[in-house]
Structure 1
Amino acid sequence: MTGALGVILAGGQATRMGGGDKGLLMLDGQTMLTRVMDRLAPQVDRMVLNANGEAGRFSDYSLPVIPDSIAGFPGPLAGVLAGMDHAAENGMAQILTVAADTPFFPIDLYDRLHADDAPIRLAATHEHGRTYRHPTFGLWPVALRHDLREALNNGLRKVVLWTDRHGTGEVLFAAEAFFNVNTPEDLTEARARLATA
Structure 2
Amino acid sequence: MISALILAGGQGRRMGGVDKGLVELDGRPLVAWVRAGLAAQGVAYDRVYVSANRHGDLYRAWGDVVLPDLWPGQPGPLAGMHAGLSACTTALLLVVPCDVPRLPPDLASRLVTALEDSGAAAAYASSGGRAHPAFCLLSTSLLPALDACLSRGQRRVFDWLRSVAAVEVEFAASCFVNLNTPEDVAAWSARAAH
**1:49 — aligned with what?**
50
Give the Å deviation of 1:54. 4.1
1:149-190 deviation per Cα after TM superposition (whole angstroms, max 9, x unaligned): 121012111122221122121111122221111111100122
State how 1:96-135 maps to structure 2 within 5 Å: 96-116=94-114, 117=118, 118-126=120-128, 131-135=129-133
Name the CA distance, whole Å, in 2 between partners of 1:55 and 1:30.
Answer: 17
1:85-131 deviation per Cα after TM superposition (whole angstroms, max 9, x unaligned): 111xx3x11100001011112111001111112321000011xxxx2
State how 1:51-66 maps to structure 2 within 5 Å: 51-61=52-62, 63-66=64-67
What is the DSSP-based 3-state SS (H/G/I as helix, E as strand, rest coil) of the residue aligned with 2:135? strand
User: Residues 70 and 153 of structure 1 are in contact (CA less than 8 Å); yes or no, is this contact kept in structure 2?
Assistant: no
Give the Å deviation of 1:62. 5.3
Give the Å deviation of 1:29. 2.2
1:12 aligns with 2:40: no
Equivalenced residues, count: 187
What is the DSSP-based 3-state SS (H/G/I as helix, E as strand, rest coil) of the residue aligned with 1:72? coil
**1:70 — aligned with what?**
71
User: Residues 43 and 107 of structure 1 are in contact (CA less than 8 Å); yes or no, is this contact kept in structure 2?
Assistant: no
**1:40 — aligned with what?**
38
User: Residues 7 and 96 of structure 2 are in contact (CA less than 8 Å); yes or no, is this contact kept in structure 1?
Assistant: yes
Paired amino acid for 1:140: L
Shift in alpha-carbon separation, 1:31–1:172, aligned structure 2, 3 A: same
% identity of equivalent residues: 39
**1:193 — aligned with what?**
191
Shift in alpha-carbon separation, 1:62–1:109, aligned structure 2, 3 A: closer
Deviating above 6 A after TM superposition, structure 1's stretches of 4 or more consecutive aligned residues are: none
**2:137 — aligned with what?**
139
> Which runs of 5 or more structure 1 residues have no equivalent in the other structure?
none
What is the DSSP-based 3-state SS (H/G/I as helix, E as strand, rest coil) of the residue aligned with 1:43? coil
Shift in alpha-carbon separation, 1:74–1:62, aligned structure 2, 3 A: closer
Shift in alpha-carbon separation, 1:152–1:33, aligned structure 2, 3 A: same
> Which runs of 5 or more structure 2 residues have no equivalent in the other structure?
none
| TM-score normalised by L of structure 2 | 0.90
Paired amino acid for 2:43: Q
Give the Å deviation of 1:31. 1.6
Shift in alpha-carbon separation, 1:187–1:174, aligned structure 2, 3 A: same
| TM-score normalised by L of structure 1 | 0.89
